[in-house]
Amino acid sequence: MELNKETIKKILDDIDLSAGPPEEEPARQYYFMASARRRLREQFAEDIASGEALKRYGAEELAAMEAEGVCGTAAVITFGCQMNAKDAEKFRGILECIEYKMRESEDADLILYNTCTVRENANLKVYGHLGQAGGWKKRHPKTIVGLCGCMMQEPDEVERIKKSYPFVDLIFGTHNVFKLAELVDGCLARRREAVSTGRKQKMLVDVWEGTDQIVEDLPADRKYPFKSGVNIMFGCNNFCSYCIVPYVRGRERSRRPEEILAEVRRLADEGVAEVMLLGQNVNSYGKTLEQPMTFAKLLKEVEQVEGIRRIRFMTSHPKDLSDELIQVMAESEKICRHLHLPLQSGSSRILKAMNRRYTKEQFLALAEKIKKAVPGISLTTDIIVGFPGETEEDFLDTMDVVDRVGFDSAFTFIYSKRTGTPAAAMEDQVPEDVVKERFDRLLALVQKRAADLCGRDVGTVQDVLVEEVSDHDPGYVTGRLSNNTVVHFPGGPELVGKIVDVYLEESRGFYYMGRQK
C-alpha cells in the first residue's frame, strides 16, 4: 500500500540521519529519501548563493521552485508496457519526496530512462534519447543521467552503455526498482565527491540477476486521480520462444492478497473509481503464495471493496484462463466487459514453435465460451507476423482466427529477433518483403472486423468513465465504455473522473460520438 505525501513527509522529517541506514525494507529506502533530500537541499542552497541556480532555471522558475519547496528538476521517460508505467509512478513518487519537481521534457537535473527491450526498436529509441542526453549533460555537467528497466537486465546492453555512453551516472534493472532512493543518494554523494576532488564521477551500476523480494509501502505519483494500476504479481514463467520478458523480469512472484486489497481500499478512499490489476500473466496469480489463491478468487475479493466501480486486468494467457474466471466475469457487475487475450498466431504449428501451449482450435473454443458467458464482451489481442518458419498456410490460419473471433482491436507486430531467446536461433527466418505484405493484409482485416463490431452499441445508453477534455475540441470530453471503446461527447472539465450515462449517437469506426443523458 502506498502512503500519501503528507504522511511520508512526516516520516522523513523524523528520521535521524546520524544513526545510519536500517537493513529492513522499506525503512531503509525512507532513510535514503531523507538523506538524498538533505544532499539536494544543500546543493540547491549552494547553487542559489553562487548564482548558478539563477542561470540554470531563470528568475521565474527559480522563484516558483523556492515557493513550492523543491530543490531540483527530474524527468522519468518511460518506454514499454503497463508494468513499466506502474514502475514510473513509483519513481516519480520517490523523486518528489526527495524534493525534485517532475518535468515531462528531458531538460532536467535528473533524467531517468525506464527502458523496454521486448523489441529491437525499443532499444534503438533509448539510444536515440541517450544521444540527446549526452549533449544536454555537456552543457549542464551536474545532470544525473540514469537508466533502469528491462533493457538493463541484458549484460551486452549494459556493457555497450559503459563503453559508448560514459556520461551515464546510474544503471539498475527490474529486480531492485524499490532502491531508487538509495541509488539517487549514492549518485548525489558521488557527484559531491567528484566536484570536491576534481575527479570524474564514477558510474553506479546495480543490476540484480533475480529476486524473490517484494517491497511494499513506497510512495507513488499516479497519472490519473480517478483510476490506477495495481501490481498483483511480477515476472513470468511461460518462456514463450520469442519473448525476452522471463529473462529480464524474472520468475513469477505474487503479492499477498491482503497487501493488494489494502492498496485497493486506500485507492477507493482517495476517490479512485477504476483499478487495473497488473501482471505479465494474471491468470497465474497466487501460485507462489504460502497459501495459494486463484486469480478468480482475488477478483471476487477486489469486487467487495466499496467505492471501486470498475475492475480491469491484464494480461491473460489463454492456456491459463479458467472456467472459474469466466464465471466470475459473467456474474460481476464491476469487472469490465473487456478481455485482452493474446493470440500471437492462428497456426497450431507456429503456436507450438512459440511454446504457447494451446492450439488454434483451443483458442477458438475459448473465445466462443467467453463470448457466450459474457454477452457483448470486447476481445482484443496481440498478433505476431513473420515468426520463423511461418508459411502462407500458417498465416492464413491467423487470418481465419481473426475473421471468426472478431477482435475489437489488435496490436499487430512484425516478429523482432531478440538475442537470448530460442526463436532468435531458429532457421527459416521469413523474408522482410513477405512479412510486410502479410502484415498489411492482416491489418486491413483487423480494421475491417473492428469497424464492424464498434457500431453494435449505437442507440443505447452506456456508462462512460470520463478521462479528459478532448484534445481536438475543448467543448467535448473523452471517456471509455466498460468494453474499453472510446467515446467523445459534449461536456466540460467538471466531468473528468466521473462515470456518467451517455447516449451513443454515432459510430465512427473505432469510437463513438454521443451526448450525456
Q: What digits encode the pLDDT tens for the residues 304-342?
A: 999 999 999 999 999 999 999 999 999 999 999 999 999
Q: What is the pLDDT of residue 6?
A: 81
How far apart CA 347 and CA 392 sit, in angstroms, is 10
State yes or no: cis peptide before 315, omega within 30 of 0.
Answer: yes
Determine which helix (DSSP H) or strand (DSSP E) holds 467, and give its type and residue range: strand 461-469
How far apart CA 132 and CA 155 sit, in angstroms, is 23
End-to-end CA distance of the chain: 37
Task: Give the strand pairing for 274-278 and 253-254.
Answer: unpaired
Q: In this structure, are residues 98 and 40 in contact, taking their beta carbons and an 8 Å threshold?
A: yes
For the entire predicted model, the pTM comes to 0.90
How far apart CA 217 and CA 384 sit, in angstroms, is 38
Full set of structural domains in the chain with CATH: 5-206 (3.40.50.12160), 223-326 (3.30.750.210), 337-455 (3.30.750.200), 458-516 (2.40.50.140)
Grid cell in block for residue 204: 553506479
Determine which helix (DSSP H) or strand (DSSP E) holds 326, and give its type and residue range: helix 323-331
Grid cell in block for residue 329: 466475469
- CA distances in angstroms from 296 to 252, 292, 329, listed in the order given: 17, 12, 9
Q: C-alpha angle with apex 424: 422 to 425, nearest 5 degrees?
A: 75
Q: What is the pLDDT of residue 269?
A: 95
Full pLDDT tens readout for the chain, 517 residues: 456 778 888 999 999 999 999 999 999 999 999 999 999 999 999 999 999 999 999 999 999 999 999 999 999 999 988 889 999 999 999 999 999 999 999 999 999 999 998 887 889 999 999 999 999 999 999 999 999 999 999 999 999 999 999 999 999 999 999 999 999 999 999 988 888 888 888 899 999 998 988 898 899 998 899 999 999 999 999 999 999 999 999 999 999 999 999 999 999 999 999 999 999 999 999 999 999 999 999 999 999 999 999 999 999 999 999 999 999 999 999 999 999 999 999 999 999 999 999 999 999 999 999 999 999 999 999 999 999 999 999 999 999 999 999 999 999 999 988 888 999 999 899 999 999 999 999 999 999 999 888 889 999 999 999 999 998 899 999 999 999 999 999 999 999 999 999 999 999 988 999 999 9
CB atoms within 10 A of CB 134: 16
DSSP-derived letter for residue 494 is: G
- CA distances in angstroms from 42 to 24, 107, 137, listed in the order given: 27, 21, 21
